[in-house]
């Protein structure tokens, strides 16, 4: 009864998110390149939104910085407009905002495309580290040997996110799901899928 109630609570927590632009999505409406026929995506994970706050704050500071730069420089007796010809100021300002936008967009893409998927067949890890590096790796559920979660630090504990380490069979690599929300729920969901794959009933002791 207790196990069933706990399971229902987990399903309840997991059913709360439906949008594919979030960090924790159950049964997302997405397709991926190597998806096989009949393969169903159960969980889509990204780094917790809290981990994105530093760059968002930086972008906000960079956006409002030009409004203060003139007065900051005048404090040290530097007149910016006497150094730069007036007709360049508009283009330089526009270029500055374009750079800030480019930085923000690249950071968003990095978050959005760094995705971990759990399907009924395997786990898939999409890595997107900047514009020049991307990698896609996967492991079948039958290759998974161990799944563990760790939550380190006050912020991670408060916002309930952590790293999940999935160890697979000898010749395959290790999978690390970094800073994903609700690590305990994710581990349980992976374990459930593993047990389904192995054909064991939940809670069965070997």
Nearer to another protein, 3 or 131 (CB): 131
Give dist(CA 48, CA 156) in Å, integer. Answer: 9
Number of Cβ within 10 Å of residue 181's Cβ equals 21
Toward another protein, which CB reaches closer, 70 or 102? Answer: 102
| Closer residue to another protein, CB minimum distance, 45 or 149 | 45
Residue 137 in contact with residue 172, Cβ under 8 Å? no
Query: C-beta of 92: minimal distance to another protein in Å?
Result: 7
State the Cα–Cα distance between residues 25 and 18, nearest whole angstrom. Answer: 6
| Shortest CB 6 distance to another protein, Å | 31
Instruction: Sheet with 161-168: list strands edge to edge.
Output: 144-150, 161-168, 175-181
Instruction: Compute CA distances 70 → 82, 86, 153, 171, 179, whole Å.
Output: 12, 14, 40, 59, 40
Q: Burial letters for 149-179: b for 16+ Cβ neighbours within 10 Å, e otherwise? A: bebeeeebeebebbbbebbbeeebeebebbb
User: Which C-beta is closer to another protein: that of 134 or that of 196?
Assistant: 134
Task: Tell me whether residue 15 is exposed, middle or buried, using C-beta atoms within 10 angstroms of its C-beta: 0 to 12, 13 to 18, 19 or more.
Answer: exposed
Binding site for another protein (CB under 8 A): 20-21, 28-33, 84-85, 87-88, 91-92, 94-95, 98-99, 101-102, 105-106, 109, 112-113, 115, 126, 128, 131-132, 134, 136
In angstroms, give the least distance from the CB of 132 to another protein: 7
Smallest gap, in angstroms, from Cβ of residue 19 to another protein?
9
| Least gap, CB of 172 to another protein (angstroms) | 20
Q: How far is the CB of 128 from another protein (least distance, A)?
A: 6
Q: Residue 136 or 155: which CB sits closer to another protein?
A: 136
Q: Which residue number, 103 or 159, has a Cβ lying nearer to another protein?
A: 103
């Amino acid at each position: 009864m207790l196990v069933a109630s706990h399971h229902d609570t987990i399903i309840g927590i997991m059913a709360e998110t439906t949008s594919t632009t979030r960090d924790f999505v159950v049964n997302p409406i997405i397709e991926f390149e190597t998806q096989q026929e009949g393969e169903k995506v159960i969980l889509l994970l990204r780094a917790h939104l809290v981990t994105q706050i530093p760059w968002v704050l930086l972008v906000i500071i960079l956006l409002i910085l030009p409004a203060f730069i003139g007065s900051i420089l005048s404090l040290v007796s530097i007149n910016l407009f006497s150094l730069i010809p007036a007709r360049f100021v508009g283009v330089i300002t526009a270029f500055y905002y374009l750079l800030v936008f480019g930085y923000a967009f690249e950071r968003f893409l990095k978050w959005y495309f760094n995705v971990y998927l759990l399907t009924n067949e395997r786990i898939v890890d999409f890595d997107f580290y900047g514009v020049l590096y991307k990698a896609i790796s996967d492991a079948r559920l039958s290759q998974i040997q161990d799944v563990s979660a760790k939550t380190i630090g006050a912020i991670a504990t408060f916002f309930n996110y952590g790293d999940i380490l999935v160890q697979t069979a000898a010749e395959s690599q290790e999978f690390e799901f970094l800073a994903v929300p609700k690590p305990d729920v994710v581990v349980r969901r992976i374990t459930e899928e593993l047990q389904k794959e192995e054909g064991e009933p939940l809670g069965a002791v070997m």
